[in-house]
Amino acid sequence: MHFLVLMRMVPDVIEELEIAPDGKSLDREALRLIASESDDHALEEALLLKERHGGRVTVVAPEAPEVDDLLYAAAAKGADRLVRLRGVNPGLGVPALAGSCVAALQSSAGLLPADLILTGAQTIEDLDGLIAPLVAFRLGLPYIGVVTAVTEIAEGKASVIKEFQAGYRGEFEIALPAVLGVQSAEKPPRYVPVAKVRAAMKSAKIEDVEVPQPVAQSLDGIEVLSMAKPEVAGRAEMLEGSPEEVAGKICELLAERGLL
């Protein structure tokens, strides 16, 4: 079995997000990037599947600051092949990113076929589309998103669990090869000690794959006018003081409403 995982670096929203001088985008200089959370779950699911079914895991990620850390961490967790995509223009949006990834996968030996292509269900920056269905569409493969488990792989098919709403889930059968948008893996992404990542830096190799030709398609039909802090109707009234003082104030609020 070949499990191919597409991963992306995204801004860490715990940090202050600065707007670039154009007023339309993030100031990429000031950003701290981390692996997209659901991509991390996609990797975990792929590693669990490799443990269960055998085979190999390839991780593919577009070049970005700190992406090497992501790739080496993946190797330390058990990924077999690490690929850094070069020549992806992050400013062109998700459809162009999907196009670039697919073109690169098709142009480089041994990346395809893959039995399952796994990636996150969504990232916090998917303004103009989700990458999983776009990759599936371009490869002509079936797709399902919000996946939380792959319960079975047999006879060219996989059984997957997908979340609906209000705690309802569904079990689906999907023909392989297929693309999955993973929401969360069956287990929390495994922890790797820094020492193991350091070891992977020495032993694992990151391959560079060039995106064949620049994908011309930009944010086709979408023009970003502005980016800013949300316009809000009202903000919370802030309670200040020591924990004890704040606790007293909250008690007052609750008492006023008959909740104490």
Ligand X SMILES: Nc1ncnc2c1ncn2[C@@H]1O[C@H](COP(=O)(O)O)[C@@H](O)[C@H]1O
Ligand Y SMILES: Cc1cc2nc3c(=O)[nH]c(=O)nc-3n(C[C@H](O)[C@H](O)[C@H](O)COP(=O)(O)OP(=O)(O)OC[C@H]3O[C@@H](n4cnc5c(N)ncnc54)[C@H](O)[C@@H]3O)c2cc1C
Site string for ligand X, 170-209 (x = CB under 6 A): -------x--------------------------------
Binding ligand Y (rule: CB under 6 A), the pick from 183, 185, 209, 211 is 183
Q: Pick from other proteins, ligand X, ligand Y, none: which does 106 bind, CB < 5 to 8 A by kind?
A: ligand X
Biggest alpha carbon–alpha carbon distance for the chain: 69
Residue from 7, 73, 139, 182 touching ligand X (CB under 6 A): that is 139
R_g of the chain, CA atoms, integer Å: 21
193 binds other proteins per the rule CB under 8 A: no
Is 77 within 8 Å of 43 (Cβ atoms)?
yes
Q: CB of residue 33 vs ligand Y: minimum separation in angstroms?
A: 15
In sign, the C-alpha dihedral spanning 43, 44, 47, 53 is: negative
Among residues 27, 171, 208, 210, the one that binds other proteins under rule CB under 8 A: 171
| Nearest to ligand Y of 156, 243 (CB atom) | 243
Neighbours of 229 (CB within 10 A): 7
E strand map for 63-187 = 81-86, 116-120, 143-154, 157-163, 169-175, 178-182
Which residue matches tokens 């030709």? 213
- 119 in contact with ligand Y (CB under 6 A): no
Q: Given phi > 0 = left and psi -120 to 50 = alpha, else beta, which region is 258?
A: left
Selected range binding ligand X among 47-55, 109-117, 148-156, 244-252, rule: CB under 6 A = 109-117
- The site for ligand X (CB under 6 A) is made up of 106, 112-114, 139-141, 177
